[in-house]
Chains A and B, each alone.
Chain A
């Protein structure tokens, strides 16, 4: 299974996402922002970073890139798409997901091992999790505060489209502790925490068992591979 990873100018976690795909058993395919050829990939990851320096609004310029336009088109046809952090911001700016992401409430960048609850395990990227499973995924962002209108929040909650919720501590002031969302169809998922940083023992978050041994992020990519096999 071939999963594409888009690199925009200023993308930082593209190689990490490629490694995660490899460790999950897939074949990572590097994609270039200026190229509208998605190379017939079976799924796409929009990785974290500071595309275009985040100088306009985070993700706003990347949302207009030729590769992103192609992703939007294919996503509407069911292509599995995962947006991580800056990638989540791109998905929101592309209107594949509703709402917006603003400066963290406390005004600081924050990097921490974040506990999350999996609220929806019916998406292309979460089908290997148990419902209500508690996982630890590194979070690192300056503009991760999720906001939306009351109607949108109500709709998201009613339609079970909140995929992840922050537990114990809301690190950025997100409404309803929302850490990640999906679209109506469940093929597009965006979240602020970084699953690609919790895929390899020794380099993930600390756990009660051993230092840096957390690999809860691996299931994101394995879920996508499973969804692709089943489709």
Chain B
């Protein structure tokens, strides 16, 4: 404090870097490879300072730079037609994609992973996962309006699974509820393959008027660069490079200090504050601080705007005064935003942040040079071209190899598994499946999330998709669903990724909305394993091709590699989210029937497709063979039928037939409102040439069950015929008998089904 102002502080400066070119630097410990370090030296024409090294190491990490995935992600931008882009206001590359939904309104949505932190510290990992994705949405100028979570846990009985489940669910509940965002859906899957690598993906969706769109750009020299929100602390330092980009060793969680800590109250205040700033027009560019913190925000804002910045790092407000400049640059403290503000708007900016009692500091300003300068007091510690940090990181075309196990895996079909020999056995298998953790009631989890806040939730779990009203005047709204079947992707990543899109698309269609755009979170093992890279290559090609066939574009997403423990990678798990638009949410369709005496129809064809099914895995512990066939033309016809029928108000309920097959779908649709059904399967078995086991448990795609009032029967059948969708009446709803009566098979009392289904998760956790 009493030091002479011009005394060197001991930090590594640009001057030092020139005068001591041979100094040893910890590039390896920071996760950089030798050639990456060499190319930094080449870019700068000298060795980097320790601060520059910190910045490059986090920004060139797998998590931030997409260095292993970039060459494959390009096809999401290339395999598109002009027609697919007509609703796209902002595509990939920004914080989140923005989709026009009409009436001058738009939505932005994105799903992101927080897998590694959530294994080490499940509560904070999951909580900050929600916080991070919500700031991405906010930084597009949108008000966040809903969240969803896609969760994969280890074996349900494993004691460590309980630790992760409790922590993750509590974390999401703690953060999301306090933020005031309805949680409207998601996925929960248990499989021992995720034991050491649980997946915690978080999705958020926001709404904005077209004119409120914000971009992460610093374009006007002289504008101020302002950091506001929470203070910068020691949490999450090096999180991206050390955590997200390295494989866990077998010794388990040891990297605790690199997990961030969340404060949802600070974020709620920050949301309201930012929205007021946007509406007052005082912000010229905005970027949230997530992975790589200030390193990312400054370099990306400058690089996106094609300008430079001059930053005084001592101006950063700190929670811990002992932080070094390198740590400040890498810190991933949550609930911070970086704004670019014209000088003449500073007073207005201050007035608004003061109202919300949000702290801020001016870090510096935009300069008309291709240079990011960062000073520490009077010493220069960073002097780099911003693009080389933010966008021109390394790109790898990693070795790809067809897995050695693949042929044997595909040959090992489920045909040898013991099928139900009689009706009693089939009924017993159905009951066993509905009471297995993957098909049991998930309300123990979802009841811990607020689904009501904001008053616009038109559908939420357990319905197939979530739905939110965007315009209170007209009822215009959006539906959202996400899916990924890791087992199918393991059997065939190309088909599996297409199936994930098909199912997500179908889940949006059953709600009555028209699918419009796609987001994804690609969860894979180590990219340094050529067999994993093959899975990634196949999955991305499958997804990009499928998007083109369905005519809906990918608007953004996230890649999470290194989800593996030792040599064991997770199943490739490309979570695909589909957004749909509905002109009036009053027309939405729930997933269960309520009225008595309505006809139940099965749309689509049932094939004998039990490989990779829940029946094979959860009842016989078998995974092998080929995943079910995916026919996207059929999906399109089915979606178009559902949309047309919903527009005419014909469908009372619609439920996707997927994991667990028709049997599980019927039970779920009955449990939804506790209304039973009489079902007959003989006609189906005859028409499609399948046995009872396949009729109940096959996971053939492009199938939906619907209930339709008797008065609309003729109209409905005509609609199906016109669109060439196979339709078969398989039952009627039955309010009187509290049972699902599958004729000739078994009469299952609703109370007994509910008993077997509802108690599973509370019993485990």
Contacts and interface: CB of A to CB of B under 8 A. Distances in A.
Contacts of A140: 177, 450, 452-453
A15 B272 CA distance: 13
A49 interface: yes
Interface string B451-465: 111111111000000
B673 A197 contact: no
Contact of A12 (B170, B173, B180, B447): B180
Contacts of A25: none
Interface stretch (A70-78, A104-112, A177-185): A104-112
Interface residues of B, number: 36
Interface residues of A, number: 35
Interface in A7-50: 9-10, 12-13, 15-16, 19, 48-50
Given A109-B173, A110-B448, A210-B594, A12 B455 contact: no
Interface string A93-122: 000000000000000111110000000000
Contacts of B179: 12
Q: Is the interface of A mostly helix, strand, loop or mixed?
A: loop
B586 A202 contact: yes
Contacts of A52: 265
Contacts of B447: 110-112
Nearest to A212: B458
A206 B457 CA distance: 12
Nearest to B475: A202
Given A50-B178, A112-B447, A206-B673, A197 B585 contact: no
B268 interface: yes
B196 to A, nearest CB: 26
B594 A211 contact: yes
Contacts of B122: none
Contact of A13 (B180, B264, B458): B180
B269 interface: yes
Interface in B413-463: 447-459
Contacts of A216: none
Contacts of A208: 594, 673
A199 B453 CA distance: 13
Contacts of A54: 178, 265
A163 B456 CA distance: 28
B450 A15 contact: no
A66 interface: no
Contacts of A108: 170, 173, 448
A49 B673 contact: no
A111 B180 contact: no
A227 B472 CA distance: 29
A16 B178 contact: no
A165 interface: no
B357 interface: yes
Contacts of A13: 180, 453
Given A9-B269, A52-B265, A111 B452 contact: yes
A205 to B, nearest CB: 9
Contact of A50 (B173, B268, B452, B586): B268
B450 A111 contact: yes
Contacts of A203: 455-458, 469
B712 interface: no
Contacts of B174: 109
A15 B455 contact: yes
Given A50-B268, A109-B177, A206-B673, A138 B594 contact: no
A17 to B, nearest CB: 9
B177 A53 contact: no
B263 interface: yes
Given A50-B178, A108-B173, A140-B177, A10 B265 contact: yes
B265 A12 contact: no
B11 to A, nearest CB: 36
A138 B451 CA distance: 10
A196 B455 contact: yes
Contacts of B588: 202
Interface in A66-87: none
Contacts of A196: 455
B535 to A, nearest CB: 37
Nearest to B166: A108
B356 interface: yes
Interface string A170-210: 00000000000000000000000010110110110010111
A85 B669 CA distance: 33
B590 interface: yes
Contacts of B269: 9-10
Contacts of A50: 177-178, 180, 264-265, 268
A1 B66 CA distance: 57
A7 B346 CA distance: 26
Interface string B657-671: 000000000000000
Nearest to B453: A12
B452 A12 contact: no
B673 A109 contact: no
B590 A211 contact: yes
A116 to B, nearest CB: 16
A15 B734 CA distance: 40
A109 B174 CA distance: 8
A67 to B, nearest CB: 14
Contacts of A55: 265
A111 B590 contact: no
B265 A16 contact: no
A15 to B, nearest CB: 7
A128 B266 CA distance: 40
A206 B463 CA distance: 12
Contact of A10 (B178, B452, B459, B585): B178
Contact of B264 (A16, A53, A212): A53
Contacts of B180: 12-13, 49-50
Contacts of B263: 53
Given A10-B268, A197-B452, A211 B673 contact: yes
Contacts of B177: 50, 109, 140, 142
Contacts of B356: 9
B466 to A, nearest CB: 13
Nearest to A12: B180
A110 B454 CA distance: 17
A210 B675 CA distance: 12
Contact of A200 (B264, B448, B455): B455
Given A13-B180, A50-B268, A211-B594, A111 B455 contact: no
Contacts of B357: 9
A20 B178 CA distance: 21
Contacts of B586: 202
B448 A138 contact: no
Contacts of A194: 452
A16 B454 contact: yes
Contacts of B454: 15-16
A20 to B, nearest CB: 8
A118 B673 CA distance: 25
Nearest to B452: A197
A210 B652 CA distance: 10
Contacts of B170: 108
Contacts of A19: 455, 472
28 contacts: A9-B268, A9-B356, A10-B178, A12-B453, A19-B472, A50-B177, A50-B178, A50-B180, A53-B265, A54-B178, A54-B265, A55-B265, A109-B174, A109-B177, A109-B448, A109-B449, A110-B448, A111-B447, A111-B450, A111-B451, A138-B452, A199-B455, A202-B586, A203-B455, A203-B456, A203-B458, A211-B594, A212-B458
Given A15-B454, A203-B458, A212-B458, 6 more contacts: A9-B356, A109-B174, A140-B452, A197-B452, A197-B455, A208-B594
Interface of B: 170, 173-174, 177-180, 263-266, 268-269, 356-357, 447-459, 469, 472, 585-586, 588, 590, 594, 673
Closest 5 CB pairs of A and B: A53-B265, A12-B180, A197-B452, A16-B455, A211-B590
